[in-house]
Structure 1
Amino acid sequence: MIRMKIEKIDFIEKFLLYSTVILILMMVSFNYLTNYNRYYSVYYAQEEEKYNFFLSPKQEGFVVIGLVGQQTYHDLEVLVNGEVHKTFGEDTAVTIAVRDRDLVQVNATMYAEKITLRILEVSSNIKNSIPYKEITVNKNIEILSLIQI
């Protein structure tokens, strides 16, 4: 009789324990799936792949920025939201991944001469018309565009 009561209590404890664990896991999974867009809003400047795989193609785009002329500027930086995204290095053009409301800037504070840049190409889902826009930077940080997708 006592043994049966203990077995029933053990069964109830195991049932409650497993039910609680399963409910907690379901709650965490549901939270993750419904709030995934908060996870990709974190900007990791040091990583090559900046955007999480949750982004749909409509939410991200690209911008190609090129130097006017043949001279290269190794330390010329392209900033996205105030953080270094890429440097030109040996290249005369760079492609950067952007998403809605990103601020694209060029940092030329390390060069004394005037440097002219042109936006060569943008993806088709970017709304603001910035292709072929030219800017000249001279020892400053210049805003290229605020991206609107």
Structure 2
Amino acid sequence: MRSWLLLPLFFLTSGTPRSPRIVLPGYFTCRGALMLESGNGLSCYAKTQAACQNGQLVLAFERRLSPRTARARFEIADTVHLRVAAPQRQVDITYCSAATGKPRQYFVLYKRVPAAEKRYLPYPLRAWGVSAQGHLVEVPVKSLRCLNNDYGAY
């Protein structure tokens, strides 16, 4: 008789399996940004602060777990591992817009230029955005126009 009671409990608790929680112990947060439209976050991590400029990076999409009115708590939902080996290349989180569409936040790997020269990044090499399913996906940079966060800094 008891086995009949366990059978419905088994089916109620065994839904689709959740992917394992992503954790990055010992990593340094290089930069981060809050996505205003969803409340989720984008963050860039490295093993050391020096590796933020030149080294192995982890680009992360962080899903917000708490309501907007409460203290923010996030869970890493997806990551992309990237090696930045050239000192003239840099990764940043910036707003980009396609020819038809409103600006959204992306991770952008670009060739560095002097800070105050251009309003838009003249040499974006690669870009990653968040899909509707909550995954980081690479997007073609040919269709993007990305703001230079250092424009007018000097």
What's the TM-score once normalised by structure 1's chain length? 0.28
Q: Which has the higher helix share?
A: 1
Which of the pair has the greater relative contact order for Cα pairs under 8 Å at 6+ separation?
1
Q: Which has the higher strand share?
A: 2
What's the TM-score once normalised by structure 2's chain length? 0.28
Greater Rg, structure 1 or structure 2?
Answer: 1
